Amino acid sequence: MELSVLNIAGKESGRKVKLNEAIFGIEPNEHVVYLDVKQYLANQRQGTHKSKERNEIAGSTRKIKRQKGTGTARAGSIKSPVFRGGGRVFGPEPRDYSFKLNKKVKKLARKSVLSAKAKSNDVVVLEDLNFDQPKTKQYLELLSNLQVSDKKSLLVLAEENKNVYLSARNLRGAKVVKASDLNTYDILNASKLILCEGSLEKIETVLS
C-alpha cells in the first residue's frame, strides 16, 4: 500500500511511501488484540483495594446478648459480619493484576491493529515535524490542516520531541507517542493514526 506524504499544511508533498505489507497488510488476529489490550488495562490497575475482616475491626469483645432465651440466633461479637459495622466476609485484598504475555503475541497484536487501521484508511503519513517551543495553538492548526481536529488522534514520532508532546498534552482526544512506545491500546483508541515519516522505519525495526 502506498500513501502520499503530507506536509504540516495538510497538502501533498509530492512524495509517496510504501507501507510494509508484513506490518500493515496482514490479516488481523482479533484474539491476540484482545489479550494485549487486556494486559495493558490490567497493568494500569493499582490493586490497592482493601476491606477489613472481622479480626481487623475495632470494637468491643463483650458478648452482646445472652446465649439463650432471646428467640434469635446466638451472637458473640459486635464485629460479626451479620451486624452493621462488622467485618466483611471474603472482602477484596491488595493484589497484582498484571500477567505475562509473550513478545511474539504482543508484536502480532500491534501488527493486527496497524493493518486494520491501514485497511480502513485511517493512517496518515506526515513529514517529520519540530516545534521551536510548546504551542498548543500550533498543534491545533496541524490537526485542523489534517482534518482530524474533531477525531481522536495519535501522532507517532520517530524520536522524543518534548515541544510537540507538551503542545498536545492539554488537548482532549490528542496523544503523542514515540514509535518505540507504540502499543495496541493507543492505536485502537485513536480514530486517526498520524505517522511521521521517520517513525515508519522505527516501527519496522521494532516489529520486524
pLDDT in tens, 105-124: 999 999 999 999 999 999 99
What was the pLDDT predicted at 184?
94
What is the Cα–Cα distance from 154 to 63, expressed in whole angstroms? 63
Residue 60 pLDDT level (bands cut at 50, 70, 90): confident
* pLDDT mean over 75-91: 92
DSSP 118: H
Instruction: Report d(CA 142, CA 41) in Å as an integer.
Output: 30
Q: Is the pLDDT score of 6 beyond 90?
A: no
Q: What angle do CA 177, 179, 184 make, to 5 degrees?
A: 75
pTM: 0.82
Distance CA 188, CA 134 (A): 27
Classify domain 2-46+98-207 at the CATH topology level.
Ribosomal Protein L4; Chain: A; (3.40.1370)
Domain ranges of the chain: 2-46+98-207, 51-91
- pLDDT cut 90: percent of the chain above it: 66
What mean pLDDT do residues 69-92 have?
92
Q: Which pLDDT does position 37 carry in this prediction?
A: 96
Q: Tell me, what's the pLDDT at 58?
A: 92
